[in-house]
């Protein structure tokens, strides 16, 4: 028996070589423990709270309920990739800060990525659509109001991109 050929995982544009043991790992654990990408958080471990959200091909994914093997060949984005390489913030990140949408910050990475994926598809959302877009992510601090304002404030930046 030959060992299986190593597979590649693409995270934040970087190719990561995987061992067979890596592929069996929980994606959130792998990101946090092996790649030291600790922006994604473990809030519930059962895929309900959304703190572990990362993007796979720009779609939100609950990394706490995903195996590394399940996302081979897909392009993963974590919160660490959203700012530009020179450290300048993404307009959505700027909007979160300016709107006062951040308190304890534990839900923030998942919330920002969920909102990012939503705005990529819906660059002109209504307030109600923005509210629905983040219903998958729990926040105990903010009451969501300033998060919704941040999403609406950032939307024009997505429209220009197209």
Residue 135 as a binder of another protein (CB under 8 A): the answer is yes
CB 52 within 8 Å of CB 93: no
Residue 89 as a binder of another protein (CB under 8 A): the answer is yes
CB within 8 A of 38, min separation 6: which ones? 31, 32
* Selected range binding another protein among 16-24, 68-76, 82-90, 117-125, rule: CB under 8 A: 82-90
Instruction: Please select the residue that binds another protein; options are 98, 121, 126, 161, rule is CB under 8 A.
Output: 98
As a whole number of angstroms, the distance between CA 1 and CA 111 comes to 45
Helix or strand or coil: residue 1? coil
Residue 76 as a binder of another protein (CB under 8 A): the answer is no
Residue 140 as a binder of another protein (CB under 8 A): the answer is yes
Which strands sit side by side in the sheet containing 53-56, from one edge to the other?
14-18, 7-11, 75-77, 53-56, 59-62
Residue 48 as a binder of another protein (CB under 8 A): the answer is yes
Residue 102 as a binder of another protein (CB under 8 A): the answer is yes
Residue 53 as a binder of another protein (CB under 8 A): the answer is no
In the bound state with another protein, the residue whose beta carbon lies nearer, of 18 and 153, is: 153
Q: How far is CA 22 from CA 45, 61, 66, in A?
A: 19, 19, 13
In the bound state with another protein, the residue whose beta carbon lies nearer, of 9 and 79, is: 79
Query: Which residues here bind another protein, judged by CB under 8 A?
Result: 32, 37-46, 48-49, 51, 78-80, 82-83, 89, 93, 96-100, 102-109, 112, 127, 131-132, 134-148
């Amino acid at each position: 028996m030959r060992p299986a050929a190593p597979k590649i995982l693409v995270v934040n544009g970087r190719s990561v070589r995987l061992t067979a043991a890596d592929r069996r790992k929980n994606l959130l654990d792998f990101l946090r423990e092996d790649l030291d990408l600790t922006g994604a958080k473990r809030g519930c471990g059962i895929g309900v709270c959304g703190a572990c959200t990362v993007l796979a091909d720009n779609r939100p994914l609950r990394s706490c309920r995903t195996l590394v093997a399940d996302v081979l060949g897909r392009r993963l984005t974590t919160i660490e990739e959203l700012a530009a390489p020179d450290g300048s913030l993404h307009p959505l990140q700027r909007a979160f800060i300016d709107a006062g949408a951040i308190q304890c910050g534990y839900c923030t990475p998942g919330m920002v990525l969920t909102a990012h994926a939503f705005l990529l598809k819906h660059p002109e959302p209504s307030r109600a659509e923005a509210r629905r877009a983040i219903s998958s992510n729990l926040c105990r601090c903010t009451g969501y109001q300033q998060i919704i304002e941040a999403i609406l404030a950032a939307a024009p930046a997505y429209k220009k991109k197209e």
